[in-house]
Amino acid sequence: MLQVSDIRENSEDIIKRLAIRNINAKPIINDVLDFDEQRRQMQTQLDATKAEMNALSKEIGNLFKSGQADKANALKVKTSELKDTIKSVEQALNDKALALQDMLYKIPNVPNVLVPEGNSDEDNLETLRDGEIPQLHDGALPHWDLAKKYDIIDFELGNKIAGAGFPVYKGKGARLQRALIAYFLDKNTDAGYTEYQLPHVVNEASGIGTGQLPDKEGQMYHITADDLYLIPTAEVPGTNIFRDVILNESDLPIGITGYTPCFRREAGSYGAHVRGLNRLHQFDKVEIIRVEHPSKSYEALDGMVAHVQDILKELELPYRILRLCGGDLTFASALTYDFEVFSAAQERWLEVSSVSNFETFQSNRLKLRFKNADGKNELAHTLNGSSLALPRILASILENYQTEAGIRIPEVLKPYTGFDIIN
């Protein structure tokens, strides 16, 4: 959520930069300015009326105490009119404030100057490409066939138990998945992130805090009986650790990491590009989250990108980094880098990580602040990224590391798997 004070001061600039997302924000920004102006007028009126009421009440109290009950009762008559005014202005103010908030909820974050123009993923800017694309032997298979051949992932069984998009991992497949989780967590904690185990459900306030609610509730599984949501990413419980928190400046930066399953409804998309592990309703992910001083957040973003890069290098997977264009940027992000690995049998790039700086967009909703050098509360910046998402990494390992003798295990994972080939 953008800050009203920012919109007041820089409305022209904000409109210009939102145009990079291909939206014409002028009407809604003008509405925000109007509503804000009206809201503040009402607030001033309400404050003045309340001040009058308070003074009157005090006077009445004093009169009663000094035994002048008749004078006090005479004053009481005057209060009822003030009371009515307070009630009606208060109601109008609340309505206005809610309407203003609804508007603000609908405005996406302002893109950073580095965000390229564009409409779709085709306009994303490739900033780096690294790693060897392996030459596969004749008869190499896509991962869904490998999964069946070596009996390590059972999609049909998942269908039976839960439905499409809920695969069952078995034997060495399950072990490889667990190895990846442990390896990722170790890499993250070695880089200074503190490991957390977080709830896999969140309440409504948390969903609002990170921007999934309102409006995007369709993407989350909703447990209506208890009004809880299955998390679509550890970002939601992880970032909400800091909801309504005022940190000391010396607490920054904060880095946390956590493994969670992620649940996404993502209804209405079927076909070859979502086959196998490419897109699921439940998948595993290890997330990194940072809380940063505003002056350091872009440096931190670069650090996160370098960190994820390091992991992909160690796994010896061919990858590329994309700077997302305005049309592809998520609602809350100011700047996002996507990581894609090349899955050699499908011959496709698969997104395995998305690293973003949200600046104050989330912290404004969360009320996540720190006391700055002047002793004032200032919104912190939040960032997060996948480090890493499991299924597509697993898919690319299966495909890229396949040989006629079986699927080799990347060197760094061997201590975690305890075996060096799936055959």
In the complex, which residues of this chain contact RNA (CB under 7 A)? 40, 43-44, 46-48, 50-51, 53-58, 60-61, 64-65, 76, 79-80, 83, 246, 369, 371, 377
CB of 55 to RNA, least distance (A): 7
Angstrom distances, CA of residue 223 to CA of 238, 297, 355: 20, 35, 29
**Rounded to an integer, what distance in angstroms lies between the CA atom of residue 302 and that of residue 295?**
13
Nearest CB to RNA, comparing residues 60 and 344: 60
Nearest CB to RNA, comparing residues 10 and 159: 10
Is 156 annotated to bind ligand?
Answer: no
Is 159 annotated to bind ligand?
Answer: no
CB of 77 to RNA, least distance (A): 9
- For the four alpha carbons of 287, 329, 265 and 309, in that order, the dihedral sign comes to negative
Nearest CB to RNA, comparing residues 57 and 219: 57
Is 354 annotated to bind ligand?
Answer: yes
CB of 170 to RNA, least distance (A): 23
CB of 360 to RNA, least distance (A): 13
Is 85 annotated to bind ligand?
Answer: no
Q: Give the distance, in angstroms, between the CA of residue 368 and the centroid of all CA atoms in the same chain.
A: 14
Is 387 annotated to bind ligand?
Answer: no
In the chain, what is the greatest distance between 2 CA atoms, to the nearest angstrom?
104
CB of 225 to RNA, least distance (A): 11
Q: Evaluate the omega torsion of the peptide bond into residue 388 and state whether it is cis, within 30 degrees of 0.
A: yes
Do residues 288 and 385 touch, judged by C-beta distance below 8 A?
yes
Is 351 annotated to bind ligand?
Answer: yes
Closest CA to 198 of 290, 261, 264: 261
Nearest CB to RNA, comparing residues 85 and 189: 85
Nearest CB to RNA, comparing residues 172 and 369: 369
For the annotated binding site, the residues are: 233, 264-266, 287, 351-354, 384
For the annotated binding site for L-serine, the residues are: 233, 264, 287, 384
